[in-house]
């Protein structure tokens, strides 16, 4: 069964005090195009993530987002040597100038170089084993959603193909009736020329073949989108030839109906992986 190209999957990422979420979104695109939105320092993981995506998704624009929602608190570092020097200097200054030494802890902490706050960054390598599992779960969610879309697309395209078959039968019956009517009104030479110029047996046969090919493609798991678009182009070509060969209102209406179905199939093929 074909698959679509619209999907979404998400999974939580948890490692100790580190918490986050991995999200993967896909939409239709001619090729596989992956965009990354990762935390600082995680760009080294792009190739690994790309391989995970490519293993399950063959076509579409993919957005991979990893957000860290909670992490260990900021590290506070106290410079003991600096504190000792400041206190020694304060005592010396107070003793020398007979000044009361009323320095407080708050005063010391405000002094340059005493307290240093260092933000704790999540290390990509440390988080990767857990993140990999989360990404695989998110991709699985994407695939399930794309499979559901594929079923809906298959039903719609099959419906269009069945309607095309009805119009082909109508064209064959109508051209046969036109030939029979013309034979009774024309001379042998004139009828022979008319028969050759209005013969659409090859075109209707090729259309029927393309419909069968399209139905076979709908049963494939992947890689059907581009092939389906190509077949639809060939259907359009044969239909145009029928319209140019047979100048008849009934046939013209059937041709317009077929072209409408083909156009809908081409539109849907852009949503098929």
Q: Would you write out the chain's pLDDT as a tens digit for each of its 273 residues?
A: 899 999 999 999 999 889 999 999 999 999 999 999 999 899 999 999 999 999 999 999 999 999 998 877 666 778 888 888 888 888 888 888 778 878 888 888 888 888 876 666 788 999 999 999 999 999 999 999 999 999 999 999 999 999 999 999 999 999 998 888 777 777 787 878 877 878 899 999 999 999 999 999 999 877 789 999 999 999 999 999 999 999 899 999 999 999 999 999 999 999 999
Please classify residue 81 by burial: count the beta carbons closer than 10 Å to its beta carbon, then call 0-12 exposed, 13-18 middle and 19+ buried: exposed
Residue 120 is predicted with a pLDDT of 60
**CB distance 98 to 70 below 8 Å:** no
Residue 185 is predicted with a pLDDT of 74
Residues β-bridged to residue 34: 62
Dihedral over alpha carbons 150, 205, 199, 250 (to 10 degrees): -40
Dihedral over alpha carbons 9, 23, 128, 43 (to 10 degrees): 140
Closest CA to 175 of 246, 74, 123: 246
Residue 75 is predicted with a pLDDT of 67
Residue 238 is predicted with a pLDDT of 96
d(CA 132, CA 61): 20
Residue 6 is predicted with a pLDDT of 96
Domain boundaries, the chain: 7-72+121-145, 75-118, 149-269
7-72+121-145 architecture in CATH? 2-Layer Sandwich (3.30)
What is the dotted CATH code of the domain comprising 149-269? 1.20.140
């Amino acid at each position: 069964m074909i698959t679509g190209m619209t999907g979404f999957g998400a999974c939580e990422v948890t490692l100790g005090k580190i918490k986050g979420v991995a999200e993967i979104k896909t939409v239709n695109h001619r090729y596989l195009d992956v965009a990354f939105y990762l935390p600082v320092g995680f760009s080294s993981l792009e190739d690994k993530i790309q391989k995970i995506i490519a293993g399950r998704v063959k076509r579409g624009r993919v957005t991979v987002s990893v957000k860290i929602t909670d992490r260990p608190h900021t590290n506070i570092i106290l410079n003991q040597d600096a504190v000792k020097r400041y206190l020694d200097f304060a005592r010396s200054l107070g003793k020398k100038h007979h000044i009361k030494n009323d320095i407080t802890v708050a005063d010391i902490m405000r002094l340059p170089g005493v307290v240093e706050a260092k933000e704790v960054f999540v290390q990509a390598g440390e988080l990767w084993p857990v993140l990999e599992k989360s990404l695989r779960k998110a991709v699985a969610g994407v695939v399930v959603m794309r499979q559901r879309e594929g079923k809906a697309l298959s039903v719609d395209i099959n419906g269009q193909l069945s309607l095309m078959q009805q119009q082909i039968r109508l064209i064959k019956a109508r051209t046969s009736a036109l030939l029979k009517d013309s034979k009774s009104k024309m001379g042998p030479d004139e009828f022979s020329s008319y028969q050759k110029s209005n013969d659409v047996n090859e075109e209707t046969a090729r259309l029927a073949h393309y419909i069968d090919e399209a139905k076979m493609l709908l049963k494939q798991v992947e890689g059907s989108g581009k092939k389906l678009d190509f077949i639809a182009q060939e259907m359009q070509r044969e239909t145009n030839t029928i319209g140019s060969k047979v100048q008849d209102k009934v046939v013209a209406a059937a041709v317009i109906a077929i072209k409408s179905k083909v156009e809908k199939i081409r539109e849907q093929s852009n949503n098929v992986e």
